[in-house]
Amino acid sequence: MPQGVTSRSHLSAGAATQVAWAGQAWNYGEVIDWILEGPEPVPIRQITVYGEPVLHQRAAEVTVFDDELRELVADMHTTMDAAHGVGLAAPQIGIGLRIFTYIYADQDTAPERGVLINPKLTLSKVSQAAPDVDEESEGCLSVPGLSFPLKRADYAKVEGVDEFGKPISFEAHGWFARIMQHEFDHLDGLLYVDKLVPKWDKRWLKAKKSLGWGTPGITWLPGTDADPFGH
């Protein structure tokens, strides 16, 4: 864009109405609007709710790493943030690809914010003890407003690539490892409520019936619809 144009006060009755930039003729009004408005915002995507087929199918490997993929990853980060989530898998926005984003500050083994594409997890053994309702309860943006306890491995070695195809590898412990497992399950068509022990599974099935979930077409839009978790 031309230098020095910051407001419409630069225009006068006798001023030229166009400027050449990047090989094109631009109307001054268009130039000023572009400067004042800034770039277009990254869109927030609708989040699919339990029962949407894409949530219950194994997602496909990513094979093309292009601008379209990077735009999708940017949309996922924006949607995750708008929903106050710590993770978001592509199937949750209706895209059947093996991608998930995350944000989690309370760890020092990986970047606070990131994306995993075509990930692989190596897990420690999962305890057979009953899950602790206070310490091990999970929520899910595709099961909005509900929370149930679930045992997970306390350690995960995480491998994959980023949106440019660059390899990623790190170790996750505790709650960060739980996030990795939760999002990875989405890529295999599993939600955390599909893995509950019988006591909690009964409560989940009752809640699902009451809410009318289990059929396609139910979504919610972060930042527009009421926050199901009350953030």
Q: Which residues are annotated as a binding site for Fe cation?
A: 140, 182, 186
Q: Which residues pair with 24 in a beta bridge?
A: 21
**DSSP letters spanning 42-72:** PPPPPEE-TT-GGGGSPPBPP---SHHHHHH
Distance CA 201, CA 124 (A): 24
Dihedral angle over CA of 90, 152, 83, 54, nearest 10: 30
Neighbours of 156 (CB within 10 A): 23
Whether the Cβ atoms of residue 218 and residue 134 lie closer than 8 Å to each other:
no
Distance CA 175, CA 136 (A): 9
Active site residue 183: yes
Catalytic option among 52, 138, 163, 183: 183
Instruction: Write the burial class of residue 212 (CB in 10 Å: 0-12 exposed, 13-18 middle, 19+ buried).
Output: exposed
Which sequence positions are flagged as catalytic?
183
